[in-house]
């Protein structure tokens, strides 16, 4: 147990250092040497935990946002999960903008795609269970990809806007409508058409 705590603390320390540097410059300008020097660890320690800085970014975002969001009970806390995500984006807007400015869309999709898909798939499966609908895994995969892409774009647009707060209620309303109104209707149609 102590080993896991030490590993987590080391990762957290490196992630905190990255955030500090991202307040000053884009991700593409941050080096492993800067991070290790700032943390007082050697390069081997960094590479023991992360293959590169992009994997550090992935871990940091997963640890700080996606793991928390996926722990919400979507049936009762759906809006809370959305608001948590928007709050995270708002509180870390500078850092997230600096990350986005250094990544291509393909890199961003690679870093965040699985996490969005996991959360979205959980919501769809939960809705499917509540409505007692059966759809094929192929169609479930398809709609998971589609809705994860939509939510990812909404969150990226929030980050790119200068004032996240103005868009907060609109984003919550849009995402809530998609999942509360559209997903059940989509599941009904899919079952009818045996998709």
**What's the pLDDT tens digit per position in 168-192?**
777 778 777 877 788 888 888 888 8
Q: How far apart are CA 104 and CA 18, in angstroms?
A: 19
Is 148 in contact with 117 (CB distance < 8 Å)?
yes
Does 162 score more than 60 pLDDT?
A: no
Higher-pLDDT residue of 29, 84: 29
What is the share, in percent, of the chain residues with pLDDT greater than 70?
A: 82
Neighbours of 89 (CB within 10 A): 20
Higher-pLDDT residue of 112, 7: 7
For residue 37, the model assigns a pLDDT of 96
Is 49 in contact with 10 (CB distance < 8 Å)?
yes
Give the model's confidence band at 75: pLDDT under 50 very low, under 70 low, under 90 confident, else very high: low
Give the model's confidence band at 53: pLDDT under 50 very low, under 70 low, under 90 confident, else very high: very high
Is 32 in contact with 53 (CB distance < 8 Å)?
yes
For residue 22, the model assigns a pLDDT of 94
For residue 159, the model assigns a pLDDT of 67
Q: Token digits for 87?
A: 């709050």
For residue 12, the model assigns a pLDDT of 93
| Sign of the torsion formed by the C-alpha atoms of 68, 83, 152 and 139 | positive
Q: Token digits for 99?
A: 């990350």
pLDDT digits (tens, 9 = 90+) for 113-127: 677 787 788 888 888
The average confidence (pLDDT) of the chain is 81
């Amino acid at each position: 147990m102590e080993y896991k705590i030490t590993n987590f603390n080391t990762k957290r320390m490196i992630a905190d250092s990255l955030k500090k540097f991202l307040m000053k410059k884009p991700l593409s300008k941050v080096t492993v040497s800067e991070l290790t020097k700032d943390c007082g660890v050697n390069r081997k320690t960094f590479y023991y935990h992360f293959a590169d800085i992009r994997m550090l970014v992935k871990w940091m975002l997963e640890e700080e946002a996606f793991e928390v969001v996926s722990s919400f009970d979507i049936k009762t806390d759906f809006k809370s999960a959305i608001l948590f995500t928007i709050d995270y984006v708002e509180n870390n807007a500078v850092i997230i903008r600096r990350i986005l400015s250094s990544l291509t869309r393909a890199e961003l999709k690679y870093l965040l795609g699985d996490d969005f898909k996991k959360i979205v798939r959980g919501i769809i499966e939960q809705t499917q269970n509540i409505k007692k609908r059966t759809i094929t895994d192929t169609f479930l995969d398809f709609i998971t990809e589609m809705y994860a892409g939509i939510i990812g774009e909404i969150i990226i647009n929030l980050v790119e806007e200068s004032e996240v707060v103005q868009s907060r209620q609109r984003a919550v309303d849009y995402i809530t409508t998609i999942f509360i109104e559209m997903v059940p209707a989509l599941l009904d149609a899919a079952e009818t058409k045996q998709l």
